[in-house]
Structure 1
Amino acid sequence: MTDRLFSDRRDAGRVLAGPFTQTADEEVRRLLRAAASARAWAPPARTDLAVLRSELVPVRDGVPSDEVPFQIVGDARFVLIGEASHGTHEFYAARARMTRRLIEEKGFVAVAVEADWPDAYQVNRYVRGRGDDASAEEALRGFARFPTWMWRNADVLDFLGWLRERNERLDERARAGFYGLDLYSLHRSADEVVAYLEKVDPGAAARARDRYSCFDHSDGDDGQAYGFAAAFGAGESCERRVIDQLVDLQRNALRYQRAQGLLGEDEFFHAERNAAVVAAAERYYRTMFGGRVSSWNLRDRHMADTLFALSEHLGWQRSEPARIVVWAHNSHLGDSRATEMGARGELNLGRLVREHNRGDCRLIGFTTFAGTVTAADDWGRPAERKNVRPALPGSVEELFHEAGHKEFLVGLTRSAGAADLLRGARLERAIGVVYRPGTERQSHYFQTRLSDQFDAVVHIDETRALESLERTARWERGEVPETYPVAV
């Protein structure tokens, strides 16, 4: 049972698409359902398609060739670029190309991703010329836990090679970094805190090791076993200890940083963020067994806190506001207030960034109609190259498919026609690291008002599976067609 609960928390499709529950927002959900049902039985109207076609911007390889993206971004400090799945090549490649331009031409100084802080920080050291790794592939070896293909893939490898080469031409303060926002690395983050303190304060390292030892009494290394035991009173709660450790580290910040100069500022920040991860992960693993809304909200609040802390740290170092690109799933970056998940009480990173930086952020999503995707049958299972079913009637993806263009961008802030059209409730697909075509409507679709969810959306009609750095025979073989053996 716990494995299923854990997979549900981690798979974006499952998180978004569970059945409605009875809450005070039932009327909102009823209206969303009614609107979506009304659209589901009929193809898109000719007038709708005409409006859409008149305002779409042609795209090649996922990126418009003109200045439209820059017009959308403007002077925003936070640009959040999503993905409709965790396993689609075109989303990763187009996002990387957009980010290159933002770094080179708009002065963005960091890429913050839906990944664990210590794993991403190993990459950060590499791209900034500080680490011991000899190549981008070595730097990515920190991503050793499922789902490894999210970051250990050909598109990320290519981007990191470019970023390292670009950084080598610049001085230290002008180099762009790579950072993680997520909270699953409970044990590795605890080890990173102890390792840092052993270098600057051995006595404090001993105290940290003792505090974190309370996690040693639960089996496993992902925090799930600890969370299960603590949530149901079968084991010790480490809450007080991890908070004490975070406070103790912060109390000694100046003393630790002064000993190492500029590098010390970064290394202390790395240690502090790891201590914050341990505290957030401890809460998350206890909360996940009490309800998916509370655990989802805790996770996205942590990602927002990390993003804002990173912005403050980089801005202070550069004596000017830091501009950051964020890479994560659409479900985290589109404003949840415009979606079914928001109607049932879930918030997300996109909403929190909009609320705290109104007018200073842009949310950009991706969609696809069909193709292939790298995903697993269940949490922890091997990656497969799966066929993505054509999008359901009444969905955003079906409307975009009927527009008749293979790739395009739709701006949703300045164009009244398309924005009004896409403000009505429609289905939207979300594929996480798990893809279950057999239950696709329930597992991978949710209702949304796209114009309120994003500032712009890029649609790529047919996409292909992301290529992991560890391509297996199972992935190479691909998925058996649904018509087998009839089609043989």
Structure 2
Amino acid sequence: MATRGARRRDGAGRWSAAAPPVDADTAVAAIRSHAIPVPIAPAAAAAAGGGASRSWAAARVLLDLVPASARIVMLGEATHGTREFYEQRSELTKLLIAERGFTAVVVESDWPDAARVNRYVRGMPPPPSPPPPEAHTHGLGAVPPPEAAVQAGGGPAGGKPDASADEALGDYKRFPRWMWRNRTVAEFVEWLRDHNINNVRSCGADAGARGSMATTAAPAGAAAHEGGPEGGGMGAAAHADAGRAAAQCGFYGMDVYSLHASAEAVLRYLREIDPQAARVVEARYRCFDRHGADAQSYGLATSIFHHSSCEEAVRRALAEVRRRVGGYRAAPPDRPAAHEAALELEANALVVAGAEAYYRNMFSRDEVTWNLRDRHFLATLQLVEAHLGRLQRLVAAAGEVEAAVAAAAAAGGGGGCQPHHEEPRPKLVLWAHNRHLGDARHTDAGWRRGQLNLGQLVRQAYPRQEVLALGFSTHTGHVTAADDWGEPARRQAVRPSLPGAYEHLMHTAAVGGGGGGGGGGRGPGDVFVLDLHRPELAEALAGPRLQRAIGVVYRPDTELQSHYFEADLPRQFDLLVHVESTAAVHPLDVPPPPRRGRSVGGGGGEDDWSVAAAAAVSRGEAELGATHGDMPELWPSGV
């Protein structure tokens, strides 16, 4: 007998129709039977560091469901503008960092924009300004200029260090800015900086070794360590700095759109430390000059008018960067800024190569560019993972890991230096849309068009026990989204989910009453968690059923065509959080609204910012409609 929802290939290799899903009443009864309600956390819990109390409570429930073996945890979202999704993702990530030793947050964002945030949360200096050609004095393979010359705090290239998360998020200037320039992300960035500088830095280190990481790095030629990383002769203070850097958590982007910004970042770095390499790479990148600043014009010229492409040029540029970057990584582990700068260099060169392929194919079938983009996500994830593992191995070779573990054990643990694993195995959290993280093999895009996504690729690349995928859903509420690509963000009402869709099953289970049976019709409440590994629940929820995805564009008038697709939920994700009624995320670029009561679990309240936003735009104080010149709209919902 065919498993419900299972799809099979016929003799010609085509997907056959799935067995029909179980009836809605049975599915709703299974949801009610297996749902884990999220309690309303007491105010004291939030005051003790839990942030938004309901989201903190959800995170505590979820943490118990994340197996200890998981080291790639993918946290989705059903929209790009829902406050509860951002808050719960943020709170769970904090717990994974503080209690499970995760050391990277990799997000659906351009690398250069996120790199500024990474420098801020790590307390590192901004990158150098591009010097004039005659000022190039560094030799080949030289490490970056001494970090001691600049105060810690991130900041734009050659500028002052950032003083706040708002400033650190300042490179998010183009559509859709609210995705990352919002109050919830800013709060998380401030928490991460505080965790890295105060909690991680205090673990296993004496008081005299504390202080800004940037100011403890020695100038070039100074005796920053005794011996070298291979000799194991670093002094105690250098050991402490290296260990704390390895235990800190970074913030990285993995998207592919920043062709020109990434190319400029590569050249800026190379001009400062390796002028000869800069000249070689710049000659390769000049291939793009005849197409101007609009990356889409490059795609039009190469795919429609069949002009010669820059594929070979960027491939050679990436190879040149990778050939040289090994020398830049020769810095000792107590020079964390040097290692992060080397990662930035290679990652930006990888973006240029990925973006070239993306735009060269942008006028072909949609799934081609989608697949290129998500493969780039994986390549970036693995680059960050390799970087973190390399740094951990350097520190372990110098004896810092063992010393930190012993010190933490003697002090009772805490602060992020606990012995989370016996050997360096980086742990990473991924933030992206459900459509990128829910296994595409179990969606109609995968069945019918051969579309893949990051969730599928991660499951294929890593042992199953090391991977966990969490999805979100909602029935109704509000969302921050634009009416069309490049238009201003608005707080929009989300239509109630369609009958028969997964979201409507969750709604029926949540509200109780008739229609669905089971347990006398009593629901689990307005926020609950489902463990999709439970066999009875997985069987009852087997697809195909409709599922909703709202990106940066919301088109309620054509919602069925624009935002729904078929999926098999229990095979897409491991866990699901349902929030019955949700609120819109609040962008940083509009004034905060007057304080009002805030509904628990979502909807209305203090994030009703649309009036303030309209006034700010009219005064020229907010430019929420600024477009992203490198980012085309190829997907109706903008995911």
Question: What interval of TM-score do these two structures reach, taking the shorter chain for normalisation?
Answer: 0.7 to 0.9
Partners of 1:182 and 1:65 in 2: CA distance: 26
Match of 1:157 in 2: 186
Q: Which amino acid aligns with 2:489?
A: A
Shift of 1:315: 1.3
One of 393, 396, 399 as aligned partner of 2:505:
399
Unpaired runs of 5+ in structure 1? 1-23, 480-488
One of 411, 421, 430 as aligned partner of 2:531:
411
Moved more, 371-380 or 148-157: 371-380
Q: State the secondary structure of the residue aligned to 1:461.
A: strand
- Using a 3 Å threshold, how does the CA distance of structure 1 residues 137 and 400 change in structure 2: closer, same or farther? same
1:309 aligns with 2:288: no
Aligned pairs (5 A) from 1:207-286: 207-221=280-294, 223-233=295-305, 235-258=307-330, 261-286=335-360
Match of 2:206 in 1: none
Q: Any idea what the Cα deviations from partners look like across 1:280-301, whole Å, max 9, x if unmatched?
A: 1000001111111111000000
One of 546, 558, 574 as aligned partner of 1:427:
546
Match of 1:483 in 2: none
One of 563, 567, 570 as aligned partner of 1:448:
567
Q: Which amino acid aligns with 1:275?
A: A
One of 288, 297, 300 as aligned partner of 2:371:
297
Match of 2:259 in 1: 186
Match of 2:636 in 1: none
Match of 2:429 in 1: 325
Coordinate RMSD, CA, aligned = 2.2
Q: State the secondary structure of the residue aligned to 1:359.
A: helix
- What's the TM-score, normalizing by structure 1? 0.87
Moved more, 113-122 or 212-221: 212-221
1:51 aligns with 2:59: no
Shift of 1:359: 1.9
Q: Which amino acid aligns with 1:407?
A: V
Shift of 1:309: 1.5
- Using a 3 Å threshold, how does the CA distance of structure 1 residues 464 and 262 change in structure 2: closer, same or farther? closer
Query: 1 or 2, which has the higher helix percentage?
Result: 1
Q: State the secondary structure of the residue aligned to 2:329.
A: helix
Unpaired runs of 5+ in structure 2? 1-11, 40-53, 125-153, 155-160, 202-243, 394-423, 511-524, 594-607, 614-639
Greater RCO (Cα-Cα under 8 Å, separation 6 or more): 1
Q: Any idea what the Cα deviations from partners look like across 1:37-89, whole Å, max 9, x if unmatched?
A: x96xxxx31x4322211111112424437555333333211000000000101
- Using a 3 Å threshold, how does the CA distance of structure 1 residues 478 and 136 change in structure 2: closer, same or farther? closer
In our comparison, the structure showing a higher alpha carbon Rg is 2
Shift of 1:416: 1.8
Partners of 2:92 and 2:560 in 1: CA distance: 31
Match of 1:385 in 2: 491
Sequence identity of aligned pairs in percent?
46
Q: Any idea what the Cα deviations from partners look like across 1:420-469, whole Å, max 9, x if unmatched?
A: 11123211000010010111111000111110000000000000111111
Mapped contact 2:71–2:467 kept (Cα < 8 A): yes
Q: State the secondary structure of the residue aligned to 2:471.
A: strand
Shift of 1:269: 1.4
Shift of 1:249: 1.1
Q: Which amino acid aligns with 1:348?
A: N
Match of 1:76 in 2: 70
Match of 2:3 in 1: none
Shift of 1:266: 1.9
Match of 2:249 in 1: 176
Q: Which amino acid aligns with 1:269?
A: L
Shift of 1:95: 0.3
Partners of 1:438 and 1:306 in 2: CA distance: 37
Mapped contact 2:60–2:92 kept (Cα < 8 A): no
Q: Which amino acid aligns with 2:501?
A: S
One of 468, 476, 482 as aligned partner of 2:610:
476
Mapped contact 1:81–1:333 kept (Cα < 8 A): yes
Match of 2:450 in 1: 345
Aligned pairs (5 A) from 1:55-204: 55-60=34-39, 61-62=54-55, 63-64=57-58, 68-130=62-124, 131=154, 132-169=161-198, 170=201, 171-204=244-277
Partners of 1:117 and 1:229 in 2: CA distance: 26
